[in-house]
Amino acid sequence: MPQLWQGRASKAVDSRVNDFNSSIRFDARMIEEDIQGSLVHSAMLARQGIISGADLEDIHKGLRSILEDLHSGALDIDPAAEDVHTFVEQTLTARVGNAGKRLHTGRSRNDQVALDIRLYLRGACADLQAQVKELIGVLCDKAQESAGYVMPGYTHLQRAQPVTFGHQLMAYASMLLRDLGRLQDAAARMDAECPLGSGALAGTTYPLDRFYTAEQLGFAAPCRNSIDGVSDRDFCIELCAAMATCMMHLSRLSEEVILWCSWEFKFIELDDAFTTGSSIMPQKKNPDVTELIRGKTGRVYGDLNTLLVMMKGLPLAYDKDMQEDKEAIFDAVDTLALCLKTITPMLATMTPLPANMRRAAAKGFINATDCADYLTKKGMPFRDAYKCTGTMVAACIAADKTLEELTLAEFKQYSDLFEQDVFAAIDLTACCEGRTSYGGPCKESVLAQIAEVREKIG
């Protein structure tokens, strides 16, 4: 295909420069958005009397035929085209003649690509939000099922205090709920301003109706500054930052799943359909899905860094460096979508093992704080209660016992404040159910969290 700028140059561009300059291999995915923008732009041109009604009819007929042929497979995107915009315009002109040459009136590829990528990411962002909601829903389902499964809560990866498996899962649901909010915020800012009509950077002398095109394309208004309209990629960076944060949460959850399904923990069993085996060790059941998510998180971080570094030193307005935005943001979108698509059914089919959780909780002295609180409520200063309980824990470790296995007589060796009710106070289930503060691990609290989160995701 000939270059759109032919006429200025005295010789053809070297083929190696053409290959280096071309973006068709990655921006071809925006072809539907490109056609959508062209349909609205041409309709506006006709409304403003800039092109004739006959030209508009030919342009719309040609654009729709391109779209139909792409969907049917009758038309393939030419890999030799410089970019998707060039391919559409030149294919249209080949089909409808001079009317196709008038489509680009009052428009530059600079504002065209700024529009296309916004439209594409708007759709991608909506899909990601739906996937995040689905994952949150699965976490809520699993949390409801396991709201009473006592397990150790950890700090420093050391057993700390009793929680429930449902409580732990709802922590991740809360993280993902914030991710959903960040995606929604990014989409809202993306929808706020339409760059179409900014031209190359300085607008145009044609009497464009930018408010019409903005409204027809679903934007709140046209961008207020034409230079910013073509040079802004904040929306890519903001969306990628939201996706990187979501990947970080998926990676943290993946790390927990990897620990939980190991023989050292064995709190869960992953379904065979979401694990792999070993080529040499027949006993292995590997959590490859979660390991790959951990690895792919770094990839999305890299995409975000690419966008930030690409933009940090660019003068206004459009620079060819900005062509690099698409590969990075598209890779981030694809990676997050793939991870969400895979981790959701993996979690939906996993089997919690509450007996193992309870056993680990009992051996971890995670009711030590409750034992100290018991003494404090009986009148002992907390620091004295803390020291007394610590001494008891040290003795239990030496004797290979748990606090629950001590007799009342053994308790009284440490303090006369201990009575028969100490056993109820340090019972692991009672310890969880006694933590009734808002957001805590008691079953009522976990169920309330689930209900609130379900309401937020609709």
324-368 pLDDT, tens digit per residue, is 999 999 999 999 999 999 999 999 999 999 999 999 998 888 899
Q: Is residue 152 part of a domain?
A: no
Q: Is residue 150 part of a domain?
A: no
The answer to whether the CB of 169 falls within 8 A of the CB of 142 is: yes
**Residue 4, pLDDT score:** 55
Task: Return all residues near 453 (Cβ < 8 A) that are at least 6 apart.
Answer: 136, 140, 170, 173, 174, 177
CATH number for the domain including 261?
A: 1.20.200.10
What pTM does this model have? 0.91
Residue 8: pLDDT band with limits 50, 70, 90: low
**Residue 5, pLDDT score:** 46
User: Which has more confidence, 20 or 115?
Assistant: 115
Q: Are residues 182 and 321 in the same domain?
A: yes
Residues 381-407 have a mean pLDDT of 93
pLDDT tens track for 213-229: 999 999 999 999 999 99
Q: Is residue 206 part of a domain?
A: no
Q: Are residues 316 and 170 in the same domain?
A: yes
Residue 11: pLDDT band with limits 50, 70, 90: low
CATH number for the domain including 95?
A: 1.10.275.10
Neighbours of 321 (CB within 10 A): 12
Q: Which of 353, 378, 407 is the last residue of a domain?
A: 353
Q: Are residues 139 and 258 in the same domain?
A: yes
Q: Are residues 317 and 375 in the same domain?
A: no
Residue 100: pLDDT band with limits 50, 70, 90: very high
The boundaries of the domain holding residue 75 are 15-105
Q: What is the mean pLDDT of the chain?
A: 94
Q: Is residue 4 part of a domain?
A: no
Q: Which two tokens stand for residue 366?
A: 């995670």
Q: Are residues 190 and 329 in the same domain?
A: yes
Residues 306-333 have a mean pLDDT of 96
Q: Is residue 1 part of a domain?
A: no
Strands 268-269 and 351-352: antiparallel
Among 115, 122, 321, smallest CA distance to 223 is for 115
Q: Are residues 297 and 382 in the same domain?
A: no
Q: Are residues 302 and 232 in the same domain?
A: yes
Q: Which of 353, 382, 411 is the last residue of a domain?
A: 353
Q: Which two tokens stand for residue 454?
A: 């379900």
CATH number for the domain including 432?
A: 1.10.40.30
Q: Are residues 169 and 309 in the same domain?
A: yes
Q: Are residues 435 and 409 in the same domain?
A: yes
Task: Return all residues near 438 (Cβ < 8 A) that are at least 6 apart.
Answer: 445
What are the catalytic residues? Answer: 156, 278
**Residue 17, pLDDT score:** 74
Domain total for the chain? 3
Q: Are residues 324 and 187 in the same domain?
A: yes
- Alpha carbon distance 301, 320 (integer Å): 23
> Is residue 1's pLDDT more than 60?
no
Q: Is residue 413 part of a domain?
A: yes
Q: Are residues 114 and 88 in the same domain?
A: no
Please identify which residue in the block is written with the tokens 């990187």: 244
**Residue 219, pLDDT score:** 98
- Alpha carbon distance 162, 183 (integer Å): 33
Task: Return all residues near 390 (Cβ < 8 A) that are at least 6 apart.
Answer: 368
Q: Is residue 383 part of a domain?
A: yes
pLDDT tens track for 101-126: 999 999 999 999 999 999 999 999 99
Q: Is residue 208 part of a domain?
A: no
Residue 293: pLDDT band with limits 50, 70, 90: very high
Q: Are residues 92 and 50 in the same domain?
A: yes
